[in-house]
Amino acid sequence: MKKIIDRQVEMGGNKPDFYEVFTRRNSAEPLTHIGSVEAPNAELAEARAWFIYDHEAWMEMCIVPLSAFVTITERGSASKVKVV
Amino acid sequence: MMSDMKLDGKLSEAEVCLRDELYCIADSKLVLAGWYMLVLQNGRSVSDFTSISAMMQGQYGHARALYQVLGRYGVSREEAEWTRTAAEIRSPQVLDRPPQSWSDFIAAIFMVEQAISTQLSAYKGVESDRPLAGLASKVLKESRFHLSYSTGWVKALRNDPTSTIDADAQRRLVEALDWWGDVSQPDLLFSSGLRTESEADLRKRFLAEVGKTFDVSGVSGGAAKAWKRSIRRDGNPGIPQGLYDQISFKNRELALP
């Protein structure tokens, strides 16, 4: 029997979201955007972010769903967020 | 602490129990690392591949750190990791059966990561053994993300109405509970203060944690007849030879740090 692979299901759902990742090494540093991860929920995003961006011993790492960002420049125009 | 437990140069009963339990926890991590190694190619995305690699690396590291603790009993890390046969490995029964699908893999690692973390958490507050308590705390801190990974995948799989994740989890839960197969047996580690929680309480806490994600209402509480605490299994010791052949390093000199 031929195996049928549904990519959306395999990737973990119908609507994977992007989560932006912010880190800092110490309390003197500002939280800095270092990249993003794609995941269907916050738990998986948390794990993926931690495992992918583990090149430093971060004092703090935060993730924010891209959908939570409110763009205040060029509102209403065709402004785009480049996904890294 | 250890000098108080020595009896004429031999290990005391409590010391033997602690050594056995550390073997069980470390071996669970070693075999789980082997699972991650074998499943790695099945990661659903590049970020999955990276996550499984990281969890594999983490489990190997934890296993090796725990094997080093066995140095107290005159066992070197190399001996613990390299010289034992399949019959001497003390990982839980749930890891004997290979993953049947991605969903079954997620269900199995969810149960095993949760079981190991639950058992290890009873060592982080042992005042009389600060080195082990410190190691347990560090391992638990790192394992948090392993639990997030499997929990996240369980939620994601449930988005598919045809997913078998809940049925897979029920089967894996029954297998995982063999880790606490007979909590009515005397618990010397708890009674002597070398572990801060009893086997019965740890089993209860494990079920409570699993119950946040899966239905655990149908779980029976019967004791396994031939369960042995020294291997934390019902029945014969050891893992299947086929599993051992797949997860053991063929060229150990390449794996030594």
Q: pLDDT, tens digit, for every residue of B79-121?
A: 888 889 999 999 999 999 999 999 999 999 999 999 999 999 9
> How many structural domains is chain B composed of?
1
What pLDDT digit, counting tens, does each position of B162-192 carry? 899 999 999 999 999 999 999 999 999 999 9
Does residue B34 lie within any of the structural domains?
A: yes
pLDDT score, position B7: 42
Domains of chain A, by residue range, sit at 7-68
Picking from A59, A61, A51, the residue whose alpha carbon sits closest to that of residue A20 is A61
The answer to whether the Cβ–Cβ distance between B44 and A11 falls below 8 Å is yes
How far apart are the C-alpha atoms of B103 and A10, rounded to whole Å? Answer: 10
The answer to whether the Cβ–Cβ distance between A50 and B156 falls below 8 Å is no
The answer to whether the Cβ–Cβ distance between A12 and B146 falls below 8 Å is no
Does residue B58 lie within any of the structural domains?
A: yes
What pLDDT digit, counting tens, does each position of B11-69 carry? 889 999 999 999 999 999 999 999 999 999 988 888 899 999 999 999 999 999 999 99
How far apart are the C-alpha atoms of A77 and A79, rounded to whole Å? Answer: 6
Domain span holding position B46: 2-219+239-255
Give the domain CATH number at B162: 1.20.1260.10
How far apart are the C-alpha atoms of B230 and B237, rounded to whole Å? Answer: 9
User: Closest approach of chain B CAs to the CA of A13, in angstroms?
Assistant: 6
Checking ipTM against 0.95, whether it exceeds it is: no
The answer to whether the Cβ–Cβ distance between B152 and A45 falls below 8 Å is yes
Does residue B56 lie within any of the structural domains?
A: yes
Q: Which of B47, B55, B157 sits opposite A52 (nearest CB)?
A: B47
User: Closest approach of chain A CAs to the CA of B221, in angstroms?
Assistant: 31
Does residue B167 lie within any of the structural domains?
A: yes
Alpha helices in A1-84 (DSSP H): 7-10, 42-52
- Nearest 5°: phi and psi at A62? -130, 150
User: Closest approach of chain B CAs to the CA of A48, in angstroms?
Assistant: 6
B154: closest chain A residue by CA: A12
Does residue B229 lie within any of the structural domains?
A: no
Calculate mean pLDDT across residues A40-52.
94
Tell me if chain A has a CB within 8 Å of the CB of B145.
yes
Tell me if chain A has a CB within 8 Å of the CB of B44.
yes
User: Closest approach of chain A CAs to the CA of B44, in angstroms?
Assistant: 6
Domain A7-68 sits in CATH at 3.10.20.520
Output the pTM of the full model.
0.89
A11: closest chain B residue by CA: B44
- Nearest 5°: phi and psi at B39? -90, -15
Question: Which of A43, A46, A63, A84 to mutate to test binding with chain B, by most B CBs within 10 Å of its CB?
Answer: A43
Residue A6 banded pLDDT, cuts 50, 70, 90: low
Picking from B115, B178, B177, B180, the residue whose alpha carbon sits closest to that of residue B146 is B115
B150: closest chain A residue by CA: A44
